Structure 1
Amino acid sequence: GPVTFTNLSPISFPSVGVATPYPSNILVSGLSTTISKVTVTLSNLTHTFPDDVDLLLVSPSGRKMIIMSDTGGLNAVSNVTITLDDAASTNIPDSAALTSGSFRPGNYLTVQDAFAATAPAGPYLTPQTGGTETLTSAFTGAAGGDPNGTWSLYAVDDASGDLGSIAGGWSLTITPLVFMCTTPCGSVNLVVTSTLTRPNPTTVQAAIQVQNLGAVTANNVSLSTARLGTTIGTPLPQNLGSLAPGATANAVVIFTNSSPGANSTLVVGGTYTGGSFSNTKRVTIP
């Protein structure tokens, strides 16, 4: 499932020029090398003239996209939290006031903004209306490259006379595409997804799904590993039966845990006739 990485340090805009810090970085680790979705959240954006704000996102593989530029017009904003998401129902506004919510990325300048060194040189991938790129086309799949490493947000105020900040920092939410088998799977390809919930103060529940994306049946599938940090889940093992191509099996595992909000690692794995499967991901404990 989606994994969120956050830099809580404020970003401050001067009257004109590059923000402080420049860039603001987020280190991503523990993900598979192919992802299916990226969203960006700006927490507590304040600016007296939002049209001045230009944001460039650069991935560890060097993909570089202007995710927000010349939006919000001349309408001063205070402490709005904006998520840039390709799946949002509306584009981020050009001249209307910015409000808290989810919006598709936007760049309303037909000529690309300049980003001073130490930002990489242009040209940059650009969303509507200055271009046609999306977060999905820029950063996911084979074109997006490995998401593990340093993501950099370069923020600029492109005209003098106004100030602002992103007081709560920013975050990336990344959805891995697949988790592959740990041993050669032949024509069996078991993919694992999982979701954590907290049913009570002392336990965490993992809802686990195993799907066979291969071309032949995976026989005698068994879920034998479920570990949250150093805590082993129960009950284990669980017999998931045989999975035909495209079929799924579901399991529920319980962990003893009283540390909501902590960062940890969830490891899920098992065996089938002729091979094994495993998935490891970073999680925030609910």
Structure 2
Amino acid sequence: MSDGAAGPAGTYPSTISVSNAAASITDLSISTNGLTHAFPDDVDLLLVGPGGQKMIIQSDAGGSTVALGMSYVLSDAGAGGLPDSAEIVAGTYRPTSHGGAVDTFAAPAPAGPYSEPAPIGSATFASVFNGTNPNGTWSLYVMDDANVDGGQVRNWCVRLGAPLKISEFRVRGPNGANDEYIEIHNDSPTPTLVSSPTSAGFAIAASNGVARCVITNGTLIPANGHFLCVNSAGYSLGSYPAGAGTIASGNATYTADIPDNAGIAIFNTSLPASFSLTTRIDAVGSTSEANTLYKEGTGCPALTPFSIDYAFHRDQCGKNGSITHFAACPDQGFARDRNNNALDFVFVDTNGTSAGAGQRLGAPGPQNLSASVSGTAKIVNATLDSCVQARALPNLFRDSTSTPALNSTFGQLNIRRTITNNTTVPLTRLRYRVDDISTFPAPTGVADLRPITSPNLSVTVDRPPGGSGTSSTTVFGATLEQPPSQPNGGGFNSSFNIPLAADLAPGASIDVNFRFGLQQTGEYKVDLVPEGLPVGGGYMNTLHLSGCTDATCTELIFRADTEL
């Protein structure tokens, strides 16, 4: 939406193509991610379905309170509508139209009249879309209906059924064929209560039709949280850190091996006879999986069955795990579901093995009900010293000392940031997950970064107003979380723990050093997604930096700091 002029958004319409879904809608919701606008009341959203159904889903809500990267869900199950004049905060709301005048949408949007929700009308998602076919093109038309202010909607999703999706999995590990797990993500800013009216809960099943775990009725999956299903006969990652003092043990277990390259799906029933496209919530499988019920699109690449510490994790960056694509992450920490496993999942392992699905260094990171969560824009990062550039000391420190034992043959790169809790609750847990990085096997000219643990540092700063004298501040070292053992350093999907001596109060900050070993110099990039408890960060506020490791192509300054 242009700043200063009324009219349609730059992408108009924004479209989503749905395929292979059940032929009749029974439950529809829309996820709106990253709404930023100086005057949200100006924003109007028109949803047009594949069959031409046209419904205003948001109009004249949020008043004059600035929205900054806000994500929320529109669903008939919301407790109420979007506020008229109060701030829009993360949550689930019913479709809402507060406008007094008739809303119009510029061509090529279809002409009115449009179905309108309360309080202006009585339309619901169920009344407009239930019973229609969801397959085809969905279009969202975004209008700014007043001059002066502007903003954007970062992205949006069509949800058919429960807002759950498979976010990470593996069917083999260093302990052999039974070293496997399936992670389910609640892709909603509000908790999801599992409820299957005709069965015991939601089944997580392999493509032989046998349920491995059941998420039982009454289970409450936290907002943006996870549920973890593990094979107790071999699962080796139970000591990976999860929440505040908890570990990644399974929330449900099984013992029957899932064969290599088999498909997996989650259904809104636990009755095997009812497993179908109609009851399927999400699926992922390999190209060699013959049963299309257990994969989306053509599937992930099939793997050579090595017993390595690997995982397929859902892409939060939007570049499909590319080591050499240097633009900022288009998805900015939001794990999208494009209904195509090959586009949605990235293969990583702790040795950068070539196993058939692309080669990149990284690590599994299973998360359970107690784990930290992502999903808001209110855990923010800023340069350690705002009086100097982001790629200058003390915000960026290039240590040229060769330390091969620390995966730092060509020295290290230290990124310093001040992280602030802009939520309304104290944070008991904070970590950052790597969703984009230049790492092994980087080609010549591209830096090979290895996330490693940093000690605490005493760093000299000249903070605002600047020029009035320097001071020394303690910058706390971020810790690479293990297991799994990462002898080569971290990579994609690795996580850094942020050491909190006490809860980080609302408005409070902590200075942090993220350290990366250099195994090859050149152009680099890194993008980190914040996760926290009881709420997390992520959408629109990832920590992103790119540049060059060599002093000849950036403003890096070489100087020693003092380890504490």
TM-score of the superposed pair, with normalisation by structure 2: 0.33
3-state DSSP of counterpart to 2:56: strand
1:158 aligned to 2:145? Answer: yes
Structure number with higher strand proportion: 1
Aligned residue number for residue 23 of structure 1 = 13
Residue 132 of structure 2 corresponds to residue 148 of structure 1? no
TM-score, L = length of structure 1: 0.63
CA distance in 2, matches of 1:160, 1:195: 39
Deviations 1:177-229 (A, max 9, x none): xxxxxxxxxxxxxxxxx9979898624499xx9969xxxxxxxxxxxxx754x
Q: Within 5 Å, which residues of 2 pair with 1:1-286?
A: 12-14=1-3, 15-141=5-131, 145-167=132-154, 169-175=155-161, 202-204=180-182, 228=207, 232=208, 256=258, 266=265, 279-280=276-277, 281=280, 283-285=282-284
Rounded to whole Å, the distance in 1 between the matches of 2:152 and 2:167 is 34
2-structure distance, mates of 1:19, 1:166: 9
Q: Could you say which structure has the larger radius of gyration? A: 2
SS at match of 2:126: helix
- Give distance in 1, aligned partners of 2:134 and 2:107: 23
Q: Which amino acid aligns with 2:71?
A: T
Q: What's the offset of the Cα at 1:135?
A: 1.2
For the 8 Å contact 2:73–2:91, the answer to whether it is kept is yes
Q: Which amino acid aligns with 2:141?
A: Y
In the TM superposition, residue 126 of structure 1 has moved relative to its aligned partner by 0.1
Point out which structure has higher relative CO (alpha carbons under 8 A, 6+ apart): 1
Question: Sequence identity of aligned pairs in percent?
Answer: 35
Q: CA deviation at 1:47?
A: 0.1
The superposition leaves residues 148-195 of structure 1 with CA deviations (integer Å, 9 ceiling, x where unpaired) of 11110000001111110112x00111129xxxxxxxxxxxxxxxxx99
Aligned residues: 212
For the 8 Å contact 2:165–2:282, the answer to whether it is kept is no
Instruction: Note the C-alpha offset of 1:102.
Output: 1.0
Q: Name the amino acid aligned to 2:57.
A: I
Is contact 1:40-1:173 (8 Å) kept? yes
CA contact (8 A) 2:55 2:128 kept: yes
CA distance in 1, matches of 2:59, 2:127: 18
1: CA distance, partners of 2:101 / 2:92: 25
Cα offset, 1:27, TM superposition: 0.8
8 A contact 2:28–2:125 mirrored in 1: yes
In structure 2, the CA distance between the partners of 1:114 and 1:257, relative to structure 1 (3 Å rule), is farther
Using the alignment, how far apart are the partners of 1:255 and 1:25 within structure 2? 39
**Aligned CA-pair RMSD:** 3.8
8 Å contact 1:38–1:174 — kept in the other structure? yes
* SS of the residue 1:114 aligns to: coil
Tell me how far apart the structure 2 counterparts of residues 13 and 39 of structure 1 sit (CA, whole Å): 27
Q: Whole-Å Cα distance in 2 between the matches of residues 25 and 109 of structure 1? A: 25
Distance apart, 1:75 and its partner CA: 1.2
Query: CA, structure 1 residues 256+203, in 2 after alignment: closer, same or farther (shift >3 Å)?
Result: farther
Paired with 2:95 and 2:101, the residues of 1 have a C-alpha distance of 16
Query: Which residue in 2 is equivalent to 1:5?
Result: none
Q: Is the Cα contact below 8 Å between 1:46 and 1:166 reproduced in 2?
A: yes
Contact 2:206–2:258 at 8 Å: present in 1 too? no
CA contact (8 A) 2:266 2:282 kept: no
Question: Hey, what's the Cα distance between the residues in 1 that align with 2:96 and 2:157?
Answer: 18
In the TM superposition, residue 90 of structure 1 has moved relative to its aligned partner by: 2.0
